[in-house]
């Protein structure tokens, strides 16, 4: 079994918990809402939800979680969705004036609200070959989503999903442009710029459990 924590300071943490509780795996998953350092000690893996990255970082500092989280990211699997993806990145542009504290862990540069403030939200069907039933598109829900500006060439990054060029909020010619990347994995870390927890589709949660939480257990 494994205990998966969900950082529960702000944002869509309850939805992540529901999705995890729906999974049917050979190994038991226990979920914990992480509000302080003592909760994090129980966890084998962590999800950082969408919400507001600046607020989440500030609340993490106030609750004494910032340093324990940085330490956790160095050792254990972490999945960041949307705001959580920003927190897992190595650098961010468009941060608020007083800056943005990051946890690091994933070697990408990301732009906060990267599709521009006029693009508040949009949905796009994503074809993701690594998920169960890959012929069924996964509905990507993007809400003031961050945009991947670059990935470190030397980092062991596996791109899991890209936005099809015709669905991009602004035209991008090159299929390999990093801005088309919306899901990627680096070792035990998973980053999605959209919100799988806001759908009723559990396949990304299943992916995180299989590839990141129980990478050595066939399921």
Of 70 and 144, the one with the shorter C-beta distance to ligand GLN is 144
Residues 188/76, Cβ–Cβ less than 8 Å: yes
Q: Is residue 82 involved in binding ligand GLN (CB under 6 A)?
A: yes
User: In 78-155, which ranges are continuous DSSP H helix?
Assistant: 83-88
Residues 6+ apart with CB under 8 A from 182: 126, 140, 142, 145, 148, 161, 162, 163, 192, 193, 194
Query: Cβ distance 69 to 81 under 8 Å?
Result: no
- Residues 100, 92 contacting (CB under 8 angstroms): yes
Which two three-digit tokens encode residue 59?
């609340």
Given the DSSP bridges, would you call strands 45-48 and 2-7 parallel, antiparallel or unpaired?
Answer: parallel
Site size for ligand GLN (CB under 6 A)? 11
> Cα–Cα distance between 12 and 79 in angstroms, integer?
13
- Closest distance to ligand GLN from the beta carbon of 212 (Å): 20
Q: How far is the CB of 82 from ligand GLN (least distance, A)?
A: 3
Stretch that binds ligand GLN, among 51-59, 61-69, 164-172, 177-185 (CB under 6 A): 51-59
Is 197 a residue of the active site? yes
Interface residue with ligand GLN among 63, 91, 113, 199 (CB under 6 A) is 113
Q: Is 143 annotated as a binding residue?
A: yes
Q: Is residue 143 involved in binding ligand GLN (CB under 6 A)? A: yes
User: Where does this chain touch ligand GLN (CB under 6 A) — which range of 32-40, 47-55, 71-79, 153-161?
Assistant: 47-55
Q: Which of 50, 68, 140, 196 binds ligand GLN (CB under 6 A)?
A: 50
Residues pairing with 106 in the sheet? 89
**Could you confirm whether 205 is annotated as catalytic?**
no
Residues in binding site: 51-53, 112, 143-144
Catalytic residues: 82, 195, 197
Binding site for ligand GLN (CB under 6 A): 50-53, 82-83, 86, 112-113, 143-144
């Amino acid at each position: 079994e494994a205990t998966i924590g969900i950082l529960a300071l702000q944002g869509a943490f309850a939805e992540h918990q529901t999705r995890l509780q729906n999974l049917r795996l050979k190994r038991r998953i226990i979920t914990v809402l992480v509000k302080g350092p003592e909760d994090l000690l129980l966890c084998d893996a962590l999800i950082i939800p969408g919400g507001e990255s600046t607020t989440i970082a500030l609340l993490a500092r106030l609750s004494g979680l910032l340093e324990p989280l940085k330490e956790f990211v160095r050792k254990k699997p972490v999945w960041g969705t949307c705001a959580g993806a920003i927190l897992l990145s190595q650098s961010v542009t468009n941060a608020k004036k007083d800056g943005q504290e990051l946890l690091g862990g994933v070697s990408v540069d990301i732009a906060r609200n990267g599709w521009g403030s006029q693009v508040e939200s949009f949905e796009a069907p994503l074809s993701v070959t690594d998920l169960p039933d890959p012929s069924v598109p996964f509905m990507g829900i993007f809400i003031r989503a961050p945009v991947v500006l670059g990935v470190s060439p030397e980092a062991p990054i596996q791109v899991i999903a890209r936005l099809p060029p015709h669905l991009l909020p602004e035209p991008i010619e090159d299929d390999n442009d990093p801005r088309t990347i919306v899901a990627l994995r680096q070792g035990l870390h998973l980053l999605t710029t959209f919100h799988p927890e806001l759908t009723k589709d559990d396949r990304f949660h299943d992916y995180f459990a299989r590839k990141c939480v129980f990478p050595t257990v066939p399921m």
